[in-house]
Every structure is written in structure tokens, then in C-alpha cells.
Amino acid sequence: MTHPIIADLNSRYTAKKYDATKRISTEDMDVIKESLRLSASSINSQPWKFIVLESEEAKERFHGTFSNMFQFNQPHAREASHTILFAHNPSFDKVQYRKVVDAEVSSGHLPAERYNDMLEGAFGFVELNTDESGFNGNWTKAQSYIALGNTLHTLARMGIASTSMEGVDAKLIGEEFKDELGGYVCDFALALGYPKLDEDYNYGLPKARLPLEEIITVL
């Protein structure tokens, strides 16, 4: 199949070694940031924050969060051009959702007379996933994975390598980036940059995916 989308997905892989001398341009980072902003989420909730680590100081702070575990990912903290911390709101509430509904109206997407319909009706999806303590982090974290998928395709289209990292220490990240997170939780991160091909054992290998007929049923 020769469709451009399939070409993107076939070229995408998980980088294992980055060239620390190569940096993503400001212009390309602007595209990546906008693709994050435009990511889909249930009821357009957008219960996330994306913290872009670009400076050497920020990278070093992230590097230090690997002191207890997942040291196999630690080199990416310094060597990747950038790292994005994907953070979700563990207690998304109606006050926060109101900001979304305000944006829906101000953008012209939602008629003003339907404001309360969306605020009260759509928020029911959040309430279905909220426990008695107000925790709905499992639901909001799921939304942040939609943004991750969107970003992976964006990077593939741009020819920029990436490494999704669930192998991070959420506790230490929460402590080190407490001020930036503002109560949000980061359970995974995305390193991005340009691979050091002569040392990246994962580059150029064929895709290993299950057969189409095993995973897709057409009725």
C-alpha cells in the first residue's frame, strides 16, 4: 500500500539512540506544539498539560528523575533534542470544563444558547468516570494518550524520531516539576529528535505487527 499515511506509519519507529548535536528547529517545534493543542479528547475536555523540556537546565532536571529506576531511558533526557512531559489532571471538574465550553462559544463552534446543554450534558461523561473522592485520573490519562498518538504521527510526517517512555518515575517527576505541573500528574513522556543511526539498533528493522485479519473484524 502506497498511501502517504501508511508510509508515515511504516517509517515511524521507537528511537533507541539520539544524536545530541542535532536540534529540532524552532519552526518545527511550533508545528509540534500546535499539533498537541489540536489533539482530540472526549467531550473536547482537554484535561492535560504538555511541558516541553528544551533547555539544558530542564533536561538535567529530567535526567535526575531517573535516579531510582528506568535508567535505560535516562540517556534520552540529555541526548534527545526535546522531551515532552504528558500530564493529566487527576481531578478534572466542572469549573475546569467551563473554560472549554467558554472556548466552544467564543470560537463560534457552539451556539451561545446551547452553553448549559453542553456544560451540564457533556460533563456527564466525566461524572461517570469520577469516584467519590473526585478522582478521575484514569479517564483523563486516557485522553492524554490520544494526544500522544496524534503527536507520533505528526513527528513521523516531519521525519523526526521519537521514543514514548512509560518508563519514567512519576513520583520524582512530580517532585522535580511540582511548580510546572500544578497538581497534574505525568506518567509518561516523549523524547524527540534525530537518531544516531550507527548506534540505533532499532532503526530500519521491519515492522512486527499481527495480521490484519486477526485484529480487524468487518461486519
85-113 pLDDT tens trace: 999 999 999 999 999 999 999 999 999 99
The ranges of the chain with pLDDT < 70 are: none
What is the per-residue pLDDT for 100? Answer: 97
pLDDT of residue 145: 98
Q: What is the pLDDT of residue 177?
A: 98
Which phi-psi region, left, alpha or beta, contains residue 159 (left: φ > 0; alpha: ψ -120 to 50)?
left
What is the pLDDT, as a whole number, of residue 154?
A: 97
Parallel, antiparallel or unpaired: strands 161-165 and 185-193: antiparallel
Determine the pLDDT at residue 2.
83
**pLDDT digit string (tens) for 20-55?**
999 999 999 999 999 999 999 999 999 999 999 999
pLDDT at 83: 98
Cβ-proximal residues to 121 (8 Å cutoff; 6+ apart), any chain: none
